[in-house]
């Protein structure tokens, strides 16, 4: 067990690392972060920073020597780097979890191997592979790069009338997979934590709405029938156990009109759709992750209230800082800003959590706030 007073190393200094660091420091841990920028969101609240790229093995080793355990802000740290760090200090989640997850093809093979439902897929790196994939899957289909894609980046859609090879060329020969386009009724995510000893704690299921491929709102708990909730949770638990995961993990799913669930994506870390846990649950996903990777008993994930989270994208900063007064005037609103200094369209700059048992009302409030913050 790594008790408060110990030092946690974080690979990657984005907002997830920042919120984890804030939770860890509240509990008395020290934080050292590896990131290319000494001014990154996590570095602003850390005890130490190692400046370096995430694939810089020497920099990562320098971090490893200063800490009691290493964890991640992003799943895009190369598993081979983690292998080398594991010889110096524990890495949680471990290199093998990342190796399975960070390549979409390996992730899909893993899910198939477990017999878990997902959209039909096929390899699609070359034009010949894409032709075979489209023959199998039909159109429309989505082609996604195998590595390092997020928020719809590194994806192209092949519609019935589009030039498939021209679309594929936009991915610049990156290894890729094709998926059938799924006519889902909604997206949900199961966020849970698995402790060092294998114990599991599951958060209320989140219902997610995307805009321009970027998460827009989450509401929790997702209104759901008991049997569907149990099935979603079972899929999440199966994934976490099969990976031997330690820490928080998010399993994103599509819900189909007939109620079936398909796994879309696994993120072996804290997740944007789990931000509601800060305020809405007894233990936040960030404290829970710290507890898991330090080998502590897990906290209580119980919901204290319903909640809606809405992301604040850089578009809101077009004419300068948004009018935060309108958010701060609402007693149920919690404002989170990540300390990023370069707002860009589509860039996640912060979020608001609305604590309200009436989550339909909270969704409406979220839209009102975004409208009020949007430059004219
Ligand atoms: P991803 O980066 O794979 O999570 O994709 C981002 C978003 O694109 C998802 O949250 C969905 O809204 C949409 N999407 C991705 N894959 C599919 C699919 N196979 N069918 C329909 N929509 C998809």
Alpha carbons 316 and 351: distance in angstroms, whole number: 12
pLDDT (tens digit per residue) in 36-76: 999 999 999 999 999 999 999 999 999 999 999 999 999 99
Q: Ligand 1 pocket, 360 CB below 6 A?
A: no
Structural contact between residues 206 and 276, judged by C-beta atoms closer than 8 angstroms: yes
CA of 121 to the centre of ligand 1 (A): 13
Q: Which residues pair with 141 in a beta bridge?
A: 158, 180
- Order of strands, sheet of 155-158, starting from the edge strand that comes earlier in the sequence: 121-123, 176-180, 141-145, 155-158
CA of 265 to the centre of ligand 1 (A): 9
Token pair in block for residue 280: 């809405």
CA of 75 to the centre of ligand 1 (A): 18
Atom from ligand 1 closest to the CA of residue 150 = 2
Q: Ligand 1 pocket, 142 CB below 6 A?
A: yes
pLDDT (tens digit per residue) in 165-216: 999 999 999 999 999 999 999 999 999 999 999 999 999 999 999 999 999 9
Provide the sign of the torsion angle of the four alpha carbons 320, 325, 326, 330, taken in this order: positive
- Classify residue 128 by burial, with Cβ atoms within 10 Å: 0-12, 13-18, 19+: exposed
Helices (H), the chain: 15-26, 57-64, 79-86, 95-101, 104-113, 127-137, 164-169, 226-243, 277-280, 285-293, 325-328, 359-373
Q: DSSP character for 6?
A: B
DSSP string, 171-189: TTT--EEEEEPP--SEEEE
Q: Ligand 1 pocket, 182 CB below 6 A?
A: yes
Alpha carbons 44 and 58: distance in angstroms, whole number: 23
Q: Ligand 1 pocket, 214 CB below 6 A?
A: no
Among 179, 212, 260, 264, the mutation site with the greatest number of ligand 1 atoms within 8 A of its Cβ is: 264
Is pTM beyond 0.95? Reply is yes
CA of 297 to the centre of ligand 1 (A): 35
Strands 7-11 and 69-72, sheet pairing:
parallel
* Ranges of the chain whose pLDDT falls below 70: none
């Amino acid at each position: 067990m790594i008790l408060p007073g110990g030092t946690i190393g974080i690979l990657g200094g984005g907002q997830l690392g920042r919120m984890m660091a804030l939770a860890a420091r509240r509990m008395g841990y020290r934080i050292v972060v590896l990131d290319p920028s000494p001014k990154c969101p996590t570095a602003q609240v850390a005890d130490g920073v190692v400046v370096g790229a995430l694939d810089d093995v020497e920099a990562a080793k320098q971090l490893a020597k200063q800490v009691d355990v290493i964890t991640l802000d992003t799943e895009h740290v190369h598993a081979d780097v983690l292998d080398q760090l594991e010889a110096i200090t524990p890495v949680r989640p471990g290199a093998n979890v990342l190796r399975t997850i960070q390549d979409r093809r390996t992730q899909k093979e893993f899910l198939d191997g477990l017999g878990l439902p997902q959209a039909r897929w096929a390899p699609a790196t070359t034009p010949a592979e894409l032709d075979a994939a489209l023959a199998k899957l039909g159109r429309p289909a989505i082609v996604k790069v195998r590595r390092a894609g997020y928020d719809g980046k590194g994806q192209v859609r092949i519609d019935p009338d589009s030039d498939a090879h021209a679309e594929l060329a936009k991915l610049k020969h990156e290894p890729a997979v094709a998926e059938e386009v799924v006519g889902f009724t909604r997206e949900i995510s199961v966020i849970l934590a698995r402790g060092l000893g294998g114990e599991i704690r599951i958060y209320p299921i989140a219902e997610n709405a995307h805009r321009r491929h970027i998460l827009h709102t989450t509401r929790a708990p997702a209104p759901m029938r008991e049997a569907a909730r149990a099935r979603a949770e079972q899929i999440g638990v199966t994934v976490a156990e099969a990976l031997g995961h330690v820490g928080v993990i998010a399993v994103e799913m599509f819900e189909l009109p007939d109620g079936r669930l398909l796994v879309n994506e696994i993120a072996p870390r804290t997740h944007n759709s789990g931000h509601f846990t800060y305020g809405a649950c007894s233990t936040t996903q960030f404290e829970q992750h710290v507890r898991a990777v330090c080998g502590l008993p897990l906290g209580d994930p119980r919901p204290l209230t319903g909640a809606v989270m809405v992301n604040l994208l850089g578009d809101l900063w077009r004419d300068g800082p948004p009018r935060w007064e309108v958010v701060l005037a609402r007693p149920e609103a919690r404002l989170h800003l990540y300390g990023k200094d370069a707002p860009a369209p589509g860039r996640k700059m912060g979020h608001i959590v609305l604590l309200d048992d009436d989550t339909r009302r909270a969704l409406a409030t979220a839209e009102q706030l975004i409208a009020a913050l949007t430059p004219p």
